Chain A
Amino acid sequence: MTARLDRLVRVELRKLATTRLSYGLLATSAGLTALWTTLEASRAGTSGGPAPLSSYSGLTSIVTGGVWGLILAAVLGVIISSGEFRHHTATLTYLAAPDRSRVLAAKAVAGAVGGAVFGLAGYAVAATVGLAFTAARGYHVPIGAITFVNWGFGHLAAGALLAAIGVTVGSLVRSQLAGVIGVFVWSIIIESLLGGLFTALRPYLPYTAATTLAGTPLGSASFGPARSTVAVGVPLPFAAAAALLAAIALTGAAVAARTTVRRDIT
């Protein structure tokens, strides 16, 4: 009944480390980020593309463009919780730790650790691509080292919080396929639509708030017509964006703990 939370977190981290899916997802995230940022960097300074890489805004849009790492961090969170039902492993998990709220908390923490890795990996790939293009074009880097460090911390926090939200989504829907599709539809379509139609609402949308933590200019993490290569509107302050995402994760976890997590395991 009272299995220590740190032991449960280590169990969940070991589960993550012993399946190929975790590594495949990380590789996919890095690959998508490399592809996306390479395409964007190659268009920098051209008509319709991002600003030149010699400018602060141009290089910012590339280096903070590792959004696939953040989206896939949320997907990782969904898989951590819903995978228990997909593979019928929930029975053994709850036999080992009958306190299901504690298991959910452990999954959220483990998801946050994994999500932080995804966020940082995406940032590392995007920064490498951005700096490589900047150097290849003979420009000086227009951004200071402290800013790079801050963005790294922002990607870490954004990946961690989105993965924790993903864990609660997976606990609520239980269907892995529905949860994963839901993450993509929400971040790529729904937030782009809502953010494009209601610009005042945009900073408060969870995926957008996560990209705010990562330093992405407001609007440039959107997809389709809602996407902008220059900042549109005023993003939330870092602390407010982090608090918003933490509140969403905690609310989702509280709802899941009182509803779906209590259901019979038949």
Chain B
Amino acid sequence: MATIQIRGLVKRFGPVTAVDGLSFEVRPGTVTGFLGPNGAGKTTTLRMLLGLVTPDAGIATIDGMAYRRLPEPLHQVGAVLEASSFHPGRTARAHLRIHALAADVDPSRVEDVLHLVGLTDAAGRRAGGFSLGMRQRLGLATALLADPEVLILDEPANGLDPEGVRWLRELLRGFAAEGGTVLVSSHLLAEVAQTVDEVVIVDHGRLVAHGPVAALTAGGTGLEDVFLELTKEASR
């Protein structure tokens, strides 16, 4: 099973340092929440981990290898980074069939993941007409297509209805229970508290806290209060 490792990651965009020497590790069999205020560097970190953004320093690996060096990346990592990365004129089924071909998985798997995310009835509709929640589900279907060992999700609960949020929670818990590694960024702290085992909290591109949710909230303080206190301290 695959471990995610981030070591001394740095990324600057002009004068702005988006990620500043960030290091943490995500172990298999756990769901880890990646938390931070807007602009904290979460998305940039995830994009560096996935080889989409080149770091100025440091390394990010999955199972000991940079994403770009993974032999069959979609079989090892499923990722959802934005809810709208679909051609609006392509149907959900056509989109998934393209990615099944890219991942070299059996096309029959497309129907499996459509069923899994509850989009079977909408499979023939063009993605451009989907609601945000449906787009999130299609993104998750894409991520799960090649049955990966690692899930990396950026705000996957955005746009999901309460039933969808519960479904996502059960999906992530089940994935981790089978030994999978999950790194999920979110602003929905109440939901995070119910879903994740550990949290990584960042602010201004730096690590603020990392540990089990139970340990951070041991004093009876809720995750939201802990988060606000830690990020307020970091901003001082």
Q: Does A94 contact B (CB under 8 A)?
A: yes
- B102–A265 CB distance below 8 A: no
Q: In the complex the two chains form, what is the Cα distance from A10 to B103 in whole Å? A: 12
Known: A7-B101, A15-B98. A264 touches B86 (CB 8 A): no
Q: Establish whether residues B102 and A20, one from each chain, have CB atoms under 8 Å apart when the complex forms.
A: no
- B interface bracket (residues with beta carbon within 8 Å of A): 35 or more
Q: Are B52 and A94 in contact (CB under 8 A)?
A: yes
Is A141 at the interface (CB under 8 A from chain B)? Answer: no
- Whether, in the assembled complex, B142 has its beta carbon less than 8 Å from a beta carbon of chain A, the answer is yes
Evaluate contact between A91 and B52: CB separation under 8 angstroms.
yes
Measured CB to CB, the closest approach of chain A to B76, in angstroms, equals 11
* A residues 3-56 touching B (CB-CB < 8 Å): 3, 7-8, 10-11, 14-15, 18-21
* Given the contacts A91-B81, A95-B52, A83 and B97 also touching, CB distance less than 8 Å: no
Q: Report whether A88 and B82 are in contact in the complex, using a CB–CB cutoff of 8 Å.
A: yes
Contact A87/B52 with A10-B101, A14-B98, A96-B99 known, Cβ cut-off 8 Å? no
Q: A residues within 8 A CB of B104?
A: 7
Nearest CB in chain A: distance from B61 CB, A = 14
Say yes or no: B88 contacts A87, CB within 8 Å. Answer: yes
Q: Enumerate chain A interface residues (CB-CB to B < 8 A).
A: 1-3, 7-8, 10-11, 14-15, 18-21, 83, 87-89, 91-92, 94-99, 262, 264-266
Residue of A nearest to B67 (CB): A98
Q: List 10 A–B pairs whose Cβ atoms lie within 8 Å, in order of A's numbering.
A: A10-B101, A11-B101, A11-B102, A14-B97, A18-B90, A19-B90, A92-B142, A98-B73, A265-B47, A266-B47
| Cβ contact within 8 Å between A18 and B69 | no
Complex Cα distance A8/B89, Å? 21
Chain B neighbourhood of A7, CB < 8 A:
101-102, 104
A18, B88: Cα distance in complex, Å? 11
Which residues in window 49-69 of B have CB below 8 A to A? 50-54, 67-69
Give chain B residues whose Cβ lies under 8 Å from the Cβ of A10: 101
| Cβ contact of B87, chosen from A15, A97, A262, A266, cutoff 8 A | A15
Residues of B within 8 A of A8 (CB): 102
Chain B residues near A18: list those with CB within 8 A: 87, 90-91, 94, 98
In the complex, the answer to whether A88 meets B68 with C-beta atoms within 8 Å is: no
How many angstroms between the C-alpha atoms of A258 and B159 in the bound complex? Answer: 38
